[in-house]
Amino acid sequence: MSTTKKTISVISPFYNEELGVEAFFARLSSVHAEVADRYDLEVIAINDGSKDNTLSELVNVRPRYPFLTIVDLSRNFGKEAALSAGLDYATGDVVIPIDSDLQHPPELILEMLAQWEAGFEVVLAKRVDRDTDRAIQKFSANSFYKLHNYISDIDIPADVGDYRLMDRKVVNALKALPENRRFMKGLFAWVGFKTTTVEYKVEPRLSGVTSFNTWKLWNFALEGITSFSSAPLRIWSYLGGAISLLSFLYALYLILKTVVFGIDTPGYASLMIAILFVGGIQLIGIGVLGEYLGRIFVETKRRPVYIVREVIGRG
């Protein structure tokens, strides 16, 4: 029997998390100590253009945590790009994305490893509650999952975020995907593989506040829908056809009414309502089309997903 240790790669984006750096690595190190006889650990910390002292704190703790590699991005590219950078730099047999604010309990990694050892290639971490979310966040999250899974060919598991364990073959498949604008939850689901789920309770943020406000969450949901479904384009095609049919039927009604009862005085109010309604429908349809054209525009430029300013800690 081989005694060669496997390697766990933990990837964690950091954005203005200076107050939580020490606590995050202390808990992660404690978790690794329980399986250190079987697994080596590497942590890929991606500094995603933090405006505070996050990078300095990461550099300061590195002498005490030699498993740490710091990938400093040239600016804030967003969490999806930071996760992509982590996947590119991770070398482990299993890769685990985790938030650095400790809302994802690192202790769950032990249960994930047990499921991986049992033969699963993807182990999803599913939150069992949304007590830390505001009412609008709970409603919007539930609505997004229902709508996305209804109109898309790919189902995204509800209440499952980026926190998960992935086998090396899964990571290699993700790295082979060519798109620049990335909706990682959708890509994680798209690649498939043998999957199971473990549950956890979300912990309060250790420090700071989330960078996702309602507007950003709305745009994030829109990104997810347009990334994995063309249904909005079909919907507006059907809607346009329905309005055209109704207009034709109404025109027949007016012709018959004129023949039977004569000509009525035209109504200004009803005419304006019709014009504004149809104009609004056209503008919304153009907006939906623009979302898809915008994605094509960005993809054709073939710009990199992220730019690395410096890598600290990797030989």
> For the chain (length 315 residues), average pLDDT per consecutive 10?
77 87 89 88 90 88 89 88 90 90 87 90 83 59 61 71 89 86 79 86 66 56 60 68 70 69 58 67 73 74 85 76
Strand blocks (E) in 106-226: 122-127, 160-167, 195-200
Query: Rounded to whole angstroms, how far apart are CA atoms 180 and 301?
Result: 9
pLDDT value at residue 227: 63
Query: Rounded to whole angstroms, how far apart are CA atoms 187 and 59?
Result: 31
In contact, 119 and 223? CB cutoff 8 Å = no
Residues in the chain: 315
Query: Rounded to whole angstroms, how far apart are CA atoms 104 and 13?
Result: 13
pLDDT value at residue 151: 62
Tokens (6 digits) for 175? 């790295």
Strand blocks (E) in the chain: 6-14, 39-47, 68-73, 94-97, 122-127, 160-167, 195-200, 308-312
CATH topology of domain 6-228+305-312: Spore Coat Polysaccharide Biosynthesis Protein SpsA; Chain A (3.90.550)
CA distances from 157 to 12, 162, 171, 198 (A): 21, 11, 19, 12
Residues 6+ apart with CB under 8 A from 152: 186, 225, 228, 229, 231
pLDDT value at residue 127: 83
Q: How many CA atoms lie within 13 A of 12 on its CB side?
A: 27
In contact, 15 and 54? CB cutoff 8 Å = yes
Residue spans of the domains in the chain: they are 6-228+305-312, 231-301
pTM, full prediction: 0.70
In contact, 227 and 192? CB cutoff 8 Å = no
Tokens (6 digits) for 238? 């059907």
In contact, 40 and 74? CB cutoff 8 Å = no
Handedness of CA 275, 277, 281, 286 (dihedral sign): positive
pLDDT value at residue 189: 82
Determine the 3-state secondary structure of 8 from DSSP. strand
| 308-312 and 160-167 beta bridge pairing | unpaired
**Tell me, what amino acid is at 116?**
W
Query: Rounded to whole angstroms, how far apart are CA atoms 138 and 132?
Result: 9
Residue 218's H or E segment, with its range, is helix 214-228
pLDDT value at residue 1: 37
pLDDT value at residue 104: 85
78 φψ region: left (φ > 0), alpha (ψ -120 to 50), beta (else): left
Please name the residue that has the structure tokens 């109704």.
Answer: 246
Residue 190's H or E segment, with its range, is helix 184-191
